[in-house]
Structure 1
Amino acid sequence: MEKKEELVKYVTQQVVKYIDTPKEVRKQVKAGKKVGREPWQYRWFGMLPFVLRMWMEPLRRKRG
């Protein structure tokens, strides 16, 4: 029962914090997060997509 109360308290604090921040600040923070973000393939699978692309590129060139 105590964990549920803590969760409700935390969520309430986050919502109030979000509502209290001005809209311009929220937009700036959101834009800042998108700038340095890598594509989802790399976040989910690491270097595997990069390696596969490097491996497949010479094969595509040979085919024409």
Structure 2
Amino acid sequence: MSFKDWITYLLQRFLWYVETPRSERKELKRSQKEPWSTRWFGLVPFSMKMALNRQRRMRGRSNE
């Protein structure tokens, strides 16, 4: 990437930032954010949570 391309990219990003309303930028940021456990450890915490929830449901049914 040449210096000219880099400057062009930075200007495009800056103009997008200036032209986009603050509320829209915040909403976009919220929608793209993933949980920290997924970011750090992948899908392992998610699968463990699903397994624990399933065990809890099964225990609740057997007690009834």
- Unpaired runs of 5+ residues, structure 1, are 54-64
User: Which residue number in structure 2 is paired with residue 5 of structure 1?
Assistant: 4
1:41 counterpart residue number: 40
CA RMSD of aligned residues (A): 2.3
SS at match of 1:10: helix
Could you tell me how far 1:42 is from its partner in structure 2?
A: 1.9
Unpaired runs of at least 5, structure 2: 49-64
TM-score using structure 2 length? 0.54
Which TM-score applies when normalising by structure 1?
0.54
Partner of 2:21 in structure 1? 22
Q: How many residues are matched?
A: 44
Question: What secondary structure is seen at the aligned counterpart in 2 of 1:17?
Answer: helix
- Any runs of at least 4 consecutive aligned residues in structure 1 with deviations exceeding 2 A, and if so which? none
Q: Percentage identity across aligned positions?
A: 20
